[in-house]
Amino acid sequence: MGFGVPLALSGSRKHNETMQRILITGGAGFIGSNLALAIQDRLPNASLVILDDFRSGHFSNLVGYRGDLCAERLGKVDFKGLLGDQRMDVVFHLASITDTTEHDQFLQLNHNVEDFRHLLKWASEDQTPVVYASSAATYGQTDDIMTESKVPSPQNVYAFSKVQMDNLATQYARQFPAWKLVGLKFFNVYGPREAHKGAASSMIYQLYRQMRNGQRPRIFYDGDQRRDFIHIEDVVEACLGAAALASSGVYNIGSGVASSFHQVIEALNKAMGLQYVPDYIPNPYVFYQAFTQAEITQARNAFQYQPRMTLQDGVKQYVDWLDLAS
């Protein structure tokens, strides 16, 4: 699946010179808040607007944010009433139901697909560039490294909704060849400002909480499941790099490395100065992805995407942040 491979550009730093009017949907969520605060830090004169219904976000993620904030459901927003004649340089669309265990089909599809349709209908008028969140969940259960050309195999309605978003973006890109629509298939993202997600937060955060509370870390039998864990800082860089592209595309955003649950616990033990052994439990999820690993060559070629955080470094930085925040 894809919209074609764009030409490589110079990356997010150069794009920052012209990216001054920015809309972030889902800006109070995990990825959105980290992106918003990073842009605010790098571009202090930029005009930032966050749109969030706070279903999957939390106000505490935006402490220190100085831009505009609209608390509204994306699918109901009158963009012209909100923004007037101000044209956005880019929209980062990160609003979504992020809980993969939410099985209400209408709810998932209505929020994730129809809200995206509402956004694209407005953005198509001026062909405002849109960078949107897809997901590695679209690949389903596989033992192979995941490439963008792989046929989708969604195992739950969340993943299915992301496939439909990719399909919708593909249709618009074909209808408007000059319009830039970039999908990013995020793999297992972890890092600061995800605690509000509760059970939907990363496994790294959940294991950290268990271990910090004096409990053995609980993982599914037999702990050799392997996931592509990507630190939020690398995800933010990917978003900014994607905004610099000249044409549409869809890209994997992961570390390119599959790490076992045992390796995660090892990294947490080292970062926390502990020596816990796992507490193995049965896996209750029939749709569980036991293996994820991103092929990231296309993103590297298109916008010089290069994740910098190893699992060990990322976990150490995250543990330090969590300990300081607690």
Residue 287 has a pLDDT of 73
Angle formed by the axes of helices 311-325 and 261-272, nearest 10°:
50
Active site residue 121: no
Q: Which listed residue (139, 190, 197, 205) is catalytic?
A: 197
State yes or no: pLDDT of 182 exceeds 70. Answer: yes
Active site residue 197: yes
- What's the average model confidence in pLDDT over 23-51? 97
Predicted confidence (pLDDT) per residue in 248-296, tens digit: 999 999 999 999 999 999 999 999 999 999 999 998 877 788 899 999 9
State yes or no: pLDDT of 6 exceeds 50. Answer: no
State yes or no: pLDDT of 5 exceeds 70. Answer: no
Which amino acid, residue 33?
Answer: S
State yes or no: pLDDT of 9 exceeds 50. Answer: no
State yes or no: pLDDT of 10 exceeds 50. Answer: no
Predicted confidence (pLDDT) per residue in 285-308, tens digit: 777 888 999 999 999 999 999 999
DSSP 3-state of 251: strand
CA 25 to chain centre: 12
Residue 7 has a pLDDT of 25
DSSP codes joined into one string, 199-210: GGS-HHHHHHHH
- What's the average model confidence in pLDDT over 80-98? 93
Q: Which listed residue (132, 139, 158, 172) is catalytic?
A: 158
Residue 19 has a pLDDT of 87
Residue 17 has a pLDDT of 58
All domains of the chain, ordered by start, with CATH? 12-189+230-256+293-307 (3.40.50.720)
Rg over alpha carbons for the chain, rounded to the nearest Å, is: 19
- What's the average model confidence in pLDDT over 181-209? 96
Predicted confidence (pLDDT) per residue in 109-136, tens digit: 999 999 999 999 999 999 999 999 999 9
